[in-house]
Amino acid sequence: MQFTVERGGPLLPFLLEHVKGSRNHVKSLLARGQVQVDGAAVRRHDHPLAPGQRVSVLAQGAEARRAPFPVLYEDGRILVIDKPSGLLSMASDREKVRTAYRMAGEYVRRTRPGGRVFIVHRLDRDTSGVLLFAKDEETKRAYQEHWDALVRRRGYLAVVEGRPPREEDTIRTLLRENAAHKVYSVRSGGKEAVTHYRTIQAGREYTLLEVDIDTGRKNQIRAHLSELGCPVAGDRDYGAAASPLGRLCLHAHELALTDPFTGEERTFRSGAPRGFRALVC
């Protein structure tokens, strides 16, 4: 189904007027990503519409078939996905095809012919969670050039071996990378890294932590928690004894930032991956 907007206003009232079904049904269409405005998926019920815009309602499951990963948010400028563990953010010397960047680009082109995506920031291959792409070069520059000023919070969930010495604390060190590409703390000559953690739940063998970072150094969380004596579960490179879920138990669950064009405060969230909480029961 496709409709043309004649009067401006919020998206939800427009859908309630044009789409058959209850209010809950219409909201579920939004939640599943079945509603598009000018070809871009929209999930916010208060998304503003302007006269002349085209609103499309896709058949159930159509959007899921197009997207190879969960789409957390999408508009004309950005695409925010829930990157799975084991997937590179962008190409490397060894892997050029199966990357979040390439898959996101293919997804955008299927929904908008000629569309592109641009890398704004990265997550490690084995870290899952919130990853933001720009859809044009202007947006990429606006985010990248002012990234530290725009980002208000980078929140992670981590399942670690053992239990930290304090329920919550801040770790502040200088980090350096050695020839084997492993990161470790040094007294001088490194780059400052600041990590805050808070215990959510502790089990017999593992503890679930909420972790915030003020700096985005390579492997920062993994190095800091390992040096604390509580390596991230599944992180063999940084001293973990086991891999109970067959993956690195580190998940980027929240990205809060300011829209560089509108000044709007935006927060994108992804829930805890399956198995994280079961480890600490």
Bridge partners for 255 per DSSP: 154, 268
Are 75 and 112 contained in the same domain?
A: yes
For residues 233 and 236, what is the distance between their CA atoms, to the nearest angstrom? Answer: 8
CA dihedral 91, 96, 97, 101 (to 10 degrees): 20
Longest Cα–Cα distance in the chain: 65
For residues 52 and 153, what is the distance between their CA atoms, to the nearest angstrom? Answer: 36
106 occurs within a structural domain: yes
Are 121 and 164 contained in the same domain?
A: no
> Residue 138 sits in a domain of what CATH number?
3.30.2350.10
264 occurs within a structural domain: no
Q: What 3-state class would DSSP assign to 210? A: strand
Q: In the chain, which stretches have pLDDT less than 50?
A: 64, 96-97
Are 234 and 164 contained in the same domain?
A: yes
pLDDT, position 28: 82
pLDDT, position 123: 95
How far is CA 48 from its chain centroid?
Answer: 24
Buried b (16+ CB within 10 A) or exposed e, 121-146: bbbbbbbbbbbbbbbeeebbebbeee
Considering the entire predicted model, what is its pTM? 0.76
pLDDT tens-digit series, residues 144-188: 999 999 999 999 999 999 999 999 999 999 999 999 999 999 999
At a CB cut-off of 8 Å and minimum separation 6, what does 261 contact? 77, 139, 142
Closest of 191, 232, 192 to residue 211, by C-alpha: 232
98 occurs within a structural domain: yes
Please, what sign has the CA dihedral across residues 46, 47, 52, 57? negative
Q: Do residues 258 and 265 touch, judged by C-beta distance below 8 A? A: yes
Q: How far is CA 209 from CA 22, 82, 198, 280, in A?
A: 40, 19, 6, 10
Strands 54-57 and 118-119, by their bridges, are unpaired
Are 141 and 154 contained in the same domain?
A: no
pLDDT, position 247: 94
At a CB cut-off of 8 Å and minimum separation 6, what does 24 contact? none
32 occurs within a structural domain: yes
* Domain limits for position 45: 1-60
263 occurs within a structural domain: no
Residue 263 backbone class (left: φ over 0; alpha: ψ -120 to 50; beta: rest) = left
Domain count for the chain: 3
Are 240 and 166 contained in the same domain?
A: yes
HSE value, Cβ hemisphere, 13 Å, CA-based, for 239: 15
pLDDT, position 64: 46
224 occurs within a structural domain: yes
Are 219 and 200 contained in the same domain?
A: yes
Are 141 and 205 contained in the same domain?
A: no
For residues 56 and 79, what is the distance between their CA atoms, to the nearest angstrom? Answer: 18
pLDDT, position 2: 81
pLDDT, position 120: 97
Are 124 and 209 contained in the same domain?
A: no
Are 90 and 5 contained in the same domain?
A: no
> Residue 9 sits in a domain of what CATH number?
3.10.290.10
Are 140 and 194 contained in the same domain?
A: no
CA dihedral 257, 235, 206, 175 (to 10 degrees): -60
Are 209 and 121 contained in the same domain?
A: no
For residues 213 and 233, what is the distance between their CA atoms, to the nearest angstrom? Answer: 19
274 occurs within a structural domain: no
42 occurs within a structural domain: yes
pLDDT, position 60: 64
Are 172 and 248 contained in the same domain?
A: yes
